[in-house]
Amino acid sequence: MLDLDGVNADSLTDMIKMSFSWENWLAIIEISDKLLEVSAIAYDSMQLNLSKHLLKRSIAYYFGYSQCMKGIALQKLNRLPEARQCITQYSNLSWIKGLNEEGLAEVEYYRNIATANTYVLDLLEGKSDILPDYVEFIRNNDQEELIAGLITVLESSVKHNYSIDWVLEEFKDQVEELSSKEKREDVRYYVDYLYLQAVYLYKRDRISDAINLILDILKIGGKLNDKTGFRKTVAFYEFIRSHASLSQQERHREIMQNILEREFLKNEKSMLVVNSRIVD
SS (H, E, C) 208-231: HHHHHHHHHHHHHHHHHCCHHHHH
Reading the chain (280 residues) residue by residue, the pLDDT tens digits are 787 888 899 999 999 999 998 889 999 999 999 999 999 999 998 888 765 667 899 999 999 999 999 999 999 999 999 999 999 999 999 999 989 999 999 999 999 999 999 999 999 999 999 999 999 999 988 777 789 899 999 999 999 999 999 999 999 998 888 776 655 556 778 888 999 999 999 999 999 999 999 999 888 866 666 777 888 899 999 999 999 999 999 999 999 888 877 766 555 556 666 666 667 7
Phi and psi at residue 278, to the nearest 5°: -95, 125
With 0-12 CB in 10 A as exposed, 13-18 as middle and 19+ as buried, what is 38?
buried
Percentage with pLDDT > 90 across the chain? 64
How many CA atoms within 13 Å lie on the side-chain side of 274? 8
Indicate the SS3 state at residue 140.
coil
* Amino acid found at 276: S
- For 64-90, write each residue's pLDDT tens digit: 999 999 999 999 999 999 999 999 999
**Rounded CA gap, 156 and 121, in Å?**
9
Q: Where are the domains of the chain?
A: 1-125, 168-266
Q: Per the confidence metrics, is the pTM higher than 0.85?
A: no
Residue 80 pairs in a beta bridge with none
Evaluate whether 214 touches 233 at the Cβ level (below 8 Å). Answer: yes
Best CATH choice for the domain 1-125 from the list 1.25.40, 1.10.3470, 1.10.357, 3.40.50: 1.25.40
pLDDT of residue 235: 93
Indicate the SS3 state at residue 77.
coil
With 0-12 CB in 10 A as exposed, 13-18 as middle and 19+ as buried, what is 17?
middle
